[in-house]
Amino acid sequence: MIKPHGSDQLRPLFVQDDSQRERLIKEAESLPSLLISSAAAANAVMLGAGYFTPLDGYMNIADSLSVAETMRTTGGLFWPIPIMNLTQDSGAIKGAKRIALRDPNVPGNPVIAIQTVTAVETLSDEQLDRITAKVFGSLSPEHPGVATFKGHGKQVISGPIEVLNFSYFPTDFPDTFRTAPQIRENIRKKGWKKVVAFQTRNPMHRAHEELCKMAMTSVGADGVLIHMLLGKLKPGDIPAEVRDAAIRKMVELYFPPDTVKVTGYGFDMLYAGPREAVLHAVFRQNAGCTHFIVGRDHAGVGSFYGPFDAQKIFQTEVPPGALAIEIFGADNTAYSKKLQRVVMMRDAPDHTPDDFVTLSGTKVRDMLAAGKSLPVEFARPEVAEILMKYYQQEAASSPT
């Protein structure tokens, strides 16, 4: 099986031993505590679940700047996005060597992890802007990722962590949330040698379905990991539980049996375009996948990135050998009226623009919001029904 990134074995930071975990939970009661941001809590979940192997915790300013500017830590590890614990005010933990990190996303704010503090530093405005510009390619407050990141604060609390739970994800998504070790074990049991990973924060329409099938055929894969984001999104995006139901229905009806694993991971969407695409590749390698689909406007938002910038970064900025996972670059997909199926447009050179019905998640959402039925070129009828019910419920509950 493919090796984890930067390590011979996975390094999940979740404390597996029950007695040790209970001891740490008891210790946390006497420690200074900090209510962390949703982003820092999501980082803790990803660290605990082994997806961020080989990191042992949150980065300091030096590593964060180095990662932002060179995609390497000061120690030379290839890594595309700083993994930070940022806060507005660190006064409550001043001088503490160990602190309890409290989860903002669970009622009562239980302790999600214990951090051994190696440094508490303050980002300058210039340093914050440098990191933001490199990671997001923008400083615009209209960019949702920029606005969220710059709102976390400038206090940087670095150091290793011991993760005590996976926040709300196992409770809210018991059939879907899985850690990297769990996915690797499932791949091992299935005997899959080549596995294609597909990232999604949206319901999967026909183009996504066909893209997974094309990638499987192209690389000779044994199976596909449909790996959906379960964390926080921007307003207007479809909730995870609706996406989960729609994707599972599509897989049940339209994929060959036992060729797809539907899972999810506990992370907040960054909308960081190319840099986030590289992070997606890193943690799919850690999950045991050999190939990763990068399509049009991967992890993008609005018009902040070019349609294929997320593919270009792997060709121009990711050093050869930095990742073991291979990238499957996808062209624009569209429904061919001539062939009566979804194709990658580059594979149909004899077509004119009028021969295609172009597909997009945005167009699907707009039609559903307007109460319009989705044509079969857009979505499978059973999937469209699930999405339509959600939008009808939303419309019914919205104030008039």
pLDDT, one tens digit per residue, over 180-220 is: 999 999 999 999 999 999 999 888 888 889 899 999 999 99
Query: Are the beta carbons of 82 and 69 closer than 8 angstroms?
Result: no
**pLDDT(334) > 90:** no
CA distance 269 to 265: 11
Q: Which fold has domain 173-397?
A: Rossmann fold (3.40.50)
Please, where in the chain does CATH 3.40.50.620 lie? 173-397
Q: Alpha-carbon dihedral of residues 245, 246, 250, 253, nearest 10 degrees?
A: 50
Mean pLDDT for 306-318 is 95
Residue 317 has pLDDT above 70, yes or no: yes
Catalytic residue among 85, 105, 186, 202: 202
For 95-140, the pLDDT digits (tens) are 999 999 999 999 999 999 999 999 999 999 999 999 999 999 999 9
Q: What percent of the chain has pLDDT over 90?
A: 76
pLDDT higher than threshold 80 for residue 71:
yes
Place of tokens 């984890």: 4
Task: Find the mean pLDDT for residues 391-396.
Answer: 78
Phi, psi at residue 228, to the nearest 5°? -100, 145
Pairing relation of β-strands 119-122 and 155-163? antiparallel
- CA–CA dist 15, 24 (Å, integer): 9
Would you say residue 168 has pLDDT above 90? Answer: yes
**pLDDT tens-digit readout, 236-295:** 778 889 999 999 999 999 999 999 999 999 999 999 999 999 999 999 999 999 999 998
- Token pair of 18 as six digits: 């029950």
Active-site pick, 178, 201, 296, 380? 201
List, in order, residues 6 or more apart from 376 with CB less than 8 Å away.
206
Read off the pTM: 0.93
Q: Is 201 a catalytic residue?
A: yes
CATH architecture of 18-170: Roll (3.10)
Query: Is the pLDDT score of 368 beyond 70?
Result: yes
Residues of the chain with CATH 3.10.400.10: 18-170
Q: How far apart are CA 265 and CA 284, in angstroms?
A: 10
Amino acid identity, residue 367? M
286 catalytically annotated: no
Q: What is the mean pLDDT of the chain?
A: 93
Amino acid in the structure at residue 230: L
